[in-house]
Amino acid sequence: MLKEISALIQKELLLEWRQRYALGGILLYVIATVFVCYLSFKNVIDASAWNALFWIIILFASVNASAKSFLQESRGRMLYYYTINSPQAFILSKIIYNALLMLILSLVCFGFYSLFLGNMVKNLPVFILIVVLGSVGISSLLTMVSAIASKANNNFTIMAILAFPIIMPILITVIKLSFNAIDGSDFSYNLKYFGVLFSLDVIVIALAFLLFPYLWKD
């Protein structure tokens, strides 16, 4: 099964490298959004607005990135995958690929965000850790939602409608945690939130792993 997963991930990376749609397109989306925010907030904004804006940008970039993972596969290709792969390998490979993509995107986003809107983070390593955990969680949840939405006639709207309420636990935890990191609060204060974030990530990936086979059979 590990071989299947690595083969699938290699395929995704290869496809991506050929067209560079995600890396190019969504990167541009992120940079453009950051720039719009920079233009709208002329003066230095306060920490909570900085934080919220950052995560909103990450959220929307994530929705776009994950949407393309299922919504652009044609039926014929899905049937082909069905015959050669196990569903678990398929969903795991998609999750890993999307998580990797989101990781790169969010770190680049953070870079541009600090460039334009200033770097307010006092506790940088913790913040990076939060960005890593958060983007992995958000992207895996959105991959699963995209799989669900792909069954509803590949509609992007339905994916957004389904995704936003469900993503709220992860989003709220991450915003709280990163606000503490920006303030530079003591690390021990955050431990319970970290616990929640980590367990949310694990729950989402486990649920996706268990439930995707039911979606697999068309």
Partner 1 sequence: MKKVWWKILCAVFLIYTVIAGFLIDVPRLPILHETIRNQYFHVCMWFAMLILFTTSLYFSIRHLSSGKQEHDIIASEATNTGILFGILGLITGSIWARYTWGAWWTNDVKLNGAAITMLTYLAYLVLRNAITDEQKRGKVSAVYNIFAYVMMLVFILIYPRMSDSLHPGNGGNPGFNKYDLDNHMRMVFYPAVIGWSLLGVWIMTLRIRINRLSLTLSEREGT
Q: Are 133 and 201 in contact (CB under 8 A)?
A: yes
Q: C-beta of 66: minimal distance to partner 1 in Å?
A: 15
Tokens representing 184 are 């530079």
As to burial, measured by CB atoms within 10 angstroms (0-12 exposed, 13-18 middle, 19+ buried), residue 7 is middle
Where do we find the tokens 């431990």?
A: 191
Cβ closer to partner 1: 11 or 151? 151
Q: C-beta of 199: minimal distance to partner 1 in Å?
A: 9
Nearest alpha-carbon partner for 144 in 83, 201, 79: 201
Q: C-beta of 6: minimal distance to partner 1 in Å?
A: 26
How many CB atoms lie under 10 A from the CB of residue 58? 25
Cβ closer to partner 1: 33 or 178? 178
- Range 159-162 contact pairs with CB under 8 angstroms and sequence separation of 24 or more: 159/63, 159/67, 159/71, 160/63
Q: C-beta of 166: minimal distance to partner 1 in Å?
A: 5
Cβ closer to partner 1: 35 or 187? 187
Cβ closer to partner 1: 32 or 207? 207
Cβ closer to partner 1: 132 or 211? 211
As to burial, measured by CB atoms within 10 angstroms (0-12 exposed, 13-18 middle, 19+ buried), residue 183 is middle
Interacting residues with partner 1 (CB under 8 A): 144-145, 148, 151-153, 155, 158, 161-162, 164-166, 168-169, 172, 192-193, 196, 200, 203, 207, 211, 214-215, 218
Q: How many residues does the chain have?
A: 218
Q: C-beta of 200: minimal distance to partner 1 in Å?
A: 7
